[in-house]
Structure 1
Amino acid sequence: YYSRIYADTQDEEVVYVMNVRYHRSTDGGKTFKPYSAPHGDHHDLWIAPEDNQRMIIGDDGGAQISFDRGENWSTYHNQPTAQFYRLTTDNHFPYRIYSAQQDNSTVRILHRTESGTISERDWESTAGGESAHIAVDPMDDEIVYGGSYGGFLTRKNHRTGESQAVNVWPDNPMGHGAEGMKYRFQWNFPIFFSPHDPKKLYAASNHLHVTYNGGQSWELISPDLTRNDSTRLTPSGGPITKDNTGVEYYCTIFAATESPYEEGLLWTGSDDGLVHLSRDGGKSWKNVTPPNMPEWMMINSIEPDPFTPGGAYIAGARYKMGDFRPYLYKTKDYGQNWQLIVNGIEKEHFTRVVRADPQRQGLLYAGTETGMYLSFDDGASWSAFQLNLPIVPVTDLAVKNDNLIAATQGRGIWIIDDLTPLHQLNEQVEKSGLFLYQPADSYRIDGAQNPKAKNAGMNHPGGVAAYYYIKNMPEDTSTLITLSFHEEDGQLIREFSTQAKEKENKLEFKEGANRFVWDMRYPKGKDFEGMVLWWAGLNGPKAKPGSYRIKLTMGSEEMEQPFRIVKDPRSRSTEEDLQAQFTFMLEVNKKVSEAHQAIVDIREVRKQLQPFTSRWKEDDDKKELLAKAQAIDSVMTIVENELYQAKNQSSQDPLNYPIKLTNKLAHLNSLTGIGDFRPTEQAEQARQALTKEVDEQLAVFYQLKKVDIPAFNAMVKEAAVDVILLRETDE
């Protein structure tokens, strides 16, 4: 299917043929020599019309470039071009996504991390091969089952790294047609665990099989659930060469599932257009194929209805027949009646998958060969739901913890991190001038997004994601818009506004839908211009797990919603531990802020003194004032230099000039903010000792403010010192 011939753009004797490797002839096709690019299975080749040294080759790894006629090629590790098949997830925290990628490994990858990206260190290969369905043991996330073509099925123990072949029937069918096989396994055959019995693993050939012991033995629980048309089971290819890799096998089960909502309710769909149902765990089966569905439909996915007993949705495709129309059907009565539900989907966007949102009845997601669609009315109408997703085949979808995960054929895996706005979207939102969605529960863990990373995935945003809608931009550009976060009793934590002077408190918005992510932190400690600290942060503490409120205002309009911050389920810390950490960091920041404010005040006093003291140096009448000013400045300098190392002007200066009290105290803030733990006893002792030293210096400065500076001001007033001096001029 990918063996294509390309003629050189300048040399009529040079011909290229694409295959697993690619071949080049320099004598018009009489002889060929094989060549390799960084990946295999080459599909396409482009040769620059004006320069036949410049080429781009496309294969199952992506695209590579050559500037020397294929002698050297660029890498494919710089592009998200993975071709993924089916999706599943586990119950690990954070949960991991599992999928198989064409002509590459299976992978499991964290859906979020506590850094700024999702990088290579966050994924690893898992069970199965390139075409796998994957199933994770519901009782043990480290035990994974993965399939591949030829009926290959492995069980992988991620703790030990051991793998075991547990094929339903260990026959190697390579090179054979399907007619003589005991069981016909598709290239992409389904495997899945029962949602009601964690020891029950299913696998589908043209029959449905089950194991209760991890694949040590298998039971047959169905008859042949396909058309079993012998005319379509013969070897593929010919008459010169045949092509029997397993992907060509027909009359196989292509989609299967057990309803999470009704034990024993099994659905299967075949690649030759049959839908079957069992309501007794496979003891008896019924053909419930939609009567008006075109023949030979490949049933690509089956989705049980979360809200209707006996309800289900199926996605089918007939592109192999030259029919590119979408086919989605739904039933509400165990397949007795079916309804086609494709209104709004482009007529040539053939469908691969449909999923139902378990949180909102009637909310459906559909993946097609040309992107995504969304329905709020149970499929009665569909709208494009592309957002920033590339126009690319969507091969599978999964809904997990209010996230929507999409597997694509050529652009890797994509996620919508928060579906809650779709759960809440209604006519009221559209009619409102201002609307604030209730935020989803947010885990109290770190994380950030780095949109500039070119070699890593976009991470889940760390913090509380707030979504709000502004129908029209305010006509009065001075209208104040604020988004504020409060404790449950209403006490303000942080406020962000369109008129904030500090960048970190600035609220940016646009007409329509908006998103803002609060990092869950209380206000940071005070800094000052030119401040240099070494391994010391002024971050405020994270909000503790619990209930909070968010408020949105625009002029006189206001809307408020509750939300929750949830403890990291991996953390062993108690509520008391987190309270101790919170209080410690608040107290440290409060004291550091007080000291830094004193430094700002000292520098302001010095700035005001300097013009006068520079003039008084040569004035004998001002000696007493000068001495008093110098004494004040001398004491302030001592205080400032004890609180802060003023010699540090750049980030590396602390290597030469030792840090002082506020740096040391702020360092405790950084140390204690690591993880979710109670401060150590020694950290508390250090805080008390440093606070005592800071307070001693502040007491000296406060004495200056209370006594010496007012006394100096009185002396200046009594001496009637001119504030503004003008140069004398001749009249």
Structure 2
Amino acid sequence: STYFNQPTAQFYRVTTDNHFPYRIYGAQQDNSTLRILHRSDGSSIGERDWEPSAGGESGHLAPHPVNPDIVYGGSYGGLLERLNHDTSESRMVDVWPDNPMGYGAIDIRYRFQWNFPILISPHDPDVIYAAAQMLFRTNNEGQSWQQISPDLTRNDPSTMGKSGGPITKDDTSVEYYGTIFAIAESHHEAGVIWTGSDDGLIHISRDDGESWTDVTPRGMPEWMMINSIEINPFDPAGAYVAGTRYKSDDFSPYLYKTDDYGQSWELITDGIDAEHFTRVVRADPEREGLLYAGTELGMYVSFNDGEDWEAFQLNLPITPVTDLTIKNDDLIVATQGRSFWILDDLTPLHQLQGNWEDAAVEVYSPRPSYRMGGSASSDPGNAGHNLPNGVIVQYYMAEGFPEPDTDPDAEGDEPAAGEADEKMPALSLEFLTEDGESIRTFSSDAEEDSDKIEGVEAGFNQFVWNMRYPNAEGFDGIIMWAGNLTGPKVVPGTYQLRMRYGDYDETRSFEILPDPRISATQEDMQAQFDFLLSTNQKLTETHQAIKRIREIRDQIDLVVTPLEDRAGYDSLKDRAAFIKEELKSIEEALYQTQNESNQDPLNYPIRLNNKLASVNRLVNRGSYRPTNQSVAVRNELVTEIDSELENLTRIVEDELPMFNNLVREQAIPAVWLDGGDSN
């Protein structure tokens, strides 16, 4: 493994915006800041999906919650940039633009750390906080700043000397000490603000910065860097703090929680390795007590508000986790050396109950899914992996539970006397409308690959439904030009998922949401769906007719071919020839039978089925109601197809009975012996 075949970015922090799809922001060491889409409309997340953003390599970023094209980004030296991505306008709005390069922390007025925090208020998008050793606030986009706190650090001169030496100094603020390193404002109560310093102090203001209280946990080791503060989503008085002391040669994890505005604290690190020092803790906003912790050597999770923790590494590389954030039920991870990672879809963790590992099998309600474009390449190369497009179904299979029967016809050894047959019925996932009408069923023993559930394993499994009805039926060897049989995508609304496996039979509801970027209305998408569903049904009917024609012709040949050189059967032969000619006329009207390769339609004009499949392909594009002309062409084609299908019905109901009567009347032998005799 080399740095050429894996992401190697070192991110300090991570945040997201309210764009759709949301973007991830971070500053990367020895590079730039950037923002990148968490999913794309393509098959991977590539260069087209990211761009540089505000600030520099070391800074926090704060995208505006209403207009995410406005981004505030910091950098060393106290630099603070306001960038308008829409217009490319950049404005520097430093709190105090007195360039500190080359000076020690003790020699400057405001000690802005290399990675000084920037925060937009959750209550007012015009209020922005930034911190040196004091906390500052602006409500006019940085035109002016107000100091709203005293020095909230230890302000110990012994920690503020010049950096570097003995040959040369290196004062860039990367080693400035005695600074506020973390800020959080309660989303429950405006004006409740928490700060944590890099020299081990925690303060709170409950009056919008008018007064401050030191709430540093009693007994907490001194000189701890307070790296993150998280407000409890379910308790206005609650907060969580992550701290580190690795700079003091102490690699222990330090996580604390309070439920009384910092009057008392509890150390919550049971289960975290003794040398996995902690940088960040985040609380899940959907499930009370569900916490995530990022450490120097990976991830941990707690389901009981930190009373105990367990490793939560999954496929995440063993790497320093520098920050975490949660957005739309995704957990986004910033690492120091392996770039950004996302744990898509936290909803199974929200739904776990009690001793969930004791369950033999369980399916979880899918989270709301957007009806939009995009796909997920299994091998995106140097690009990022895209989110699978569709409804993501998560289900659990216990260790050692019998595997689903994926080959019911396979022969195997009979179980010995007294032993149970461990083979279970097939696993199936059925998608239904809100009213219970079946849309599509997938199964581990399905005959068609497109309907088959593959790779079921013990533990958590994932299945993705593309939100579509089944494709129209085709037939062997079909050749078409610019046409497809793709089934329609369902419209936004409420749907159901039913999972069956042995005695397990459970149904869950879920929502499909419209892409908020598009202009199509619910009525537009319903019109598109109705058009495509009826078109697919007509294509299926057409292709079933073609297969029926071929079956009839083959059966006629079975009867007539032995009679070709025999006298006395002229009326039967004539009737067979007439029917076959009629069938040929119908088939050639429905399908170009001369097409044998993909380029043949350029020489042999396509027929009705291909024309209808072409309309299906065109209207399937995007989320729009069908054009008037698409409706007109479809109606003309359906009229012509129906005429041919009526001819086929006439032959089946009128001509074939006469043919069969002739066969019976002429007593066609089942077996011909040599010399023409039969027996």
- TM-score tier by shorter-chain length is over 0.9
Using structure 1 for the length normalisation, give the TM-score: 0.87
SS at 1:84's partner residue? Answer: coil
The answer on 1:217 being equivalent to 2:144 is yes
Q: 2:231 aligns with which of 295, 304, 309?
A: 304
Q: C-alpha separation between the residues in 2 aligned to 1:448 and 1:503?
A: 19
Aligned to 2:465: 518
Q: Is the 8 A contact 2:549 2:587 kept in 1?
A: yes
Q: C-alpha separation between the residues in 2 aligned to 1:398 and 1:470?
A: 29
SS at 1:594's partner residue? Answer: helix
Q: Shift of residue 728 of structure 1?
A: 7.7
Q: Shift of residue 428 of structure 1?
A: 5.7
Using structure 2 for the length normalisation, give the TM-score: 0.93
The amino acid across from 1:566 in the alignment is L
SS at 2:525's partner residue? Answer: helix
Q: For CA contacts below 8 A with separation 6 or more, give which structure has more relative contact order.
A: 2
Alignment of 1:701-720 (within 5 A): 701-720=648-667
SS at 1:591's partner residue? Answer: helix
Q: C-alpha separation between the residues in 2 aligned to 1:518 and 1:423?
A: 21
Q: C-alpha separation between the residues in 1 aligned to 2:602 and 2:119?
A: 59
Q: C-alpha separation between the residues in 2 aligned to 1:610 and 1:86?
A: 75
Q: C-alpha separation between the residues in 1 aligned to 2:672 and 2:164?
A: 102
Aligned to 1:484: 430
Q: C-alpha separation between the residues in 2 aligned to 1:725 and 1:184?
A: 106
Q: 2:28 aligns with which of 101, 112, 125?
A: 101
The amino acid across from 1:483 in the alignment is L
Q: C-alpha separation between the residues in 1 aligned to 2:674 and 2:516?
A: 73
Aligned to 2:513: 566
Q: Shift of residue 654 of structure 1?
A: 2.5
Q: C-alpha separation between the residues in 2 aligned to 1:698 and 1:409?
A: 66
Q: C-alpha separation between the residues in 1 aligned to 2:33 and 2:380?
A: 24
The amino acid across from 2:68 in the alignment is D
Q: 1:251 aligns with which of 178, 187, 206?
A: 178
Alignment of 1:49-198 (within 5 A): 63=3, 76=4, 79-198=6-125
The answer on 1:535 being equivalent to 2:462 is no
Q: C-alpha separation between the residues in 1 aligned to 2:11 and 2:65?
A: 23
The answer on 1:199 being equivalent to 2:146 is no
Q: Deviations over 1:628-681 (max 9, x none)?
A: 222222222222222122232333332333222111111222211222211111
The amino acid across from 2:304 in the alignment is D
- Could you say if the C-alpha distance between residues 231 and 428 of structure 1 is closer, same or farther in structure 2, counting changes exceeding 3 Å? closer
Aligned to 2:406: none
The amino acid across from 2:491 in the alignment is K
The answer on 1:424 being equivalent to 2:351 is yes
SS at 2:299's partner residue? Answer: strand
The amino acid across from 2:299 in the alignment is M
The answer on 1:662 being equivalent to 2:591 is no
Q: C-alpha separation between the residues in 1 aligned to 2:216 and 2:21?
A: 39
The amino acid across from 1:189 in the alignment is F
The answer on 1:366 being equivalent to 2:293 is yes
The answer on 1:272 being equivalent to 2:199 is yes
The answer on 1:555 being equivalent to 2:478 is no
Aligned to 1:631: 578
Q: Is the 8 A contact 1:473 1:510 kept in 2?
A: no
Q: Deviations over 1:430-480 (max 9, x none)?
A: 343332212211122233221211121111121111222233226542513
Q: C-alpha separation between the residues in 2 aligned to 1:659 and 1:178?
A: 79
Q: Is the 8 A contact 1:447 1:463 kept in 2?
A: no
Q: 1:292 aligns with which of 219, 240, 245?
A: 219
Q: Shift of residue 535 of structure 1?
A: 2.2
Q: C-alpha separation between the residues in 2 aligned to 1:727 and 1:150?
A: 105
Aligned to 1:459: 386
Q: Deviations over 1:343-393 (max 9, x none)?
A: 000111111110000111100000111110000010010000011111111
Alignment of 1:384-533 (within 5 A): 384-427=311-354, 429-471=356-398, 472-473=401-402, 475-508=421-454, 509-533=456-480
SS at 2:474's partner residue? Answer: coil
Q: C-alpha separation between the residues in 2 aligned to 1:710 and 1:200?
A: 85
SS at 2:107's partner residue? Answer: coil
Identical aligned residues as a percent: 55
Q: Deviations over 1:79-126 (max 9, x none)?
A: 311111211111111111111111122111111122221111111111
The amino acid across from 2:379 in the alignment is K
The answer on 1:617 being equivalent to 2:564 is yes
Q: C-alpha separation between the residues in 2 aligned to 1:727 and 1:86?
A: 90
Shifted more, 214-223 versus 78-87: the winner is 78-87
Q: Is the 8 A contact 1:588 1:669 kept in 2?
A: yes
The amino acid across from 1:382 in the alignment is W
Q: C-alpha separation between the residues in 2 aligned to 1:430 and 1:702?
A: 58
- Could you say if the C-alpha distance between residues 605 and 476 of structure 1 is closer, same or farther in structure 2, counting changes exceeding 3 Å? farther
Q: C-alpha separation between the residues in 2 aligned to 1:176 and 1:384?
A: 43
Q: Is the 8 A contact 1:616 1:623 kept in 2?
A: no
Q: C-alpha separation between the residues in 2 aligned to 1:670 and 1:354?
A: 49
Aligned to 2:159: 232
Q: Is the 8 A contact 1:617 1:623 kept in 2?
A: no
Q: Is the 8 A contact 1:437 1:467 kept in 2?
A: yes
Aligned to 1:18: none
Unpaired segments ≥5 residues, structure 2: 404-420
Aligned to 1:643: 590
The amino acid across from 1:489 in the alignment is D
The amino acid across from 1:473 in the alignment is P
The number of residues matched between the two structures is 656
SS at 2:580's partner residue? Answer: helix
Q: Is the 8 A contact 2:185 2:192 kept in 1?
A: yes
Q: 2:545 aligns with which of 598, 606, 610?
A: 598
- Could you say if the C-alpha distance between residues 125 and 654 of structure 1 is closer, same or farther in structure 2, counting changes exceeding 3 Å? farther
Shifted more, 526-535 versus 351-360: the winner is 526-535
Measured on the aligned residues, the alpha-carbon RMSD in Å equals: 1.8
Q: Shift of residue 147 of structure 1?
A: 0.7
Q: 2:270 aligns with which of 343, 346, 360?
A: 343
Q: Deviations over 1:580-622 (max 9, x none)?
A: 1111001100111100111111222233333444433322323
Q: Is the 8 A contact 1:446 1:463 kept in 2?
A: no
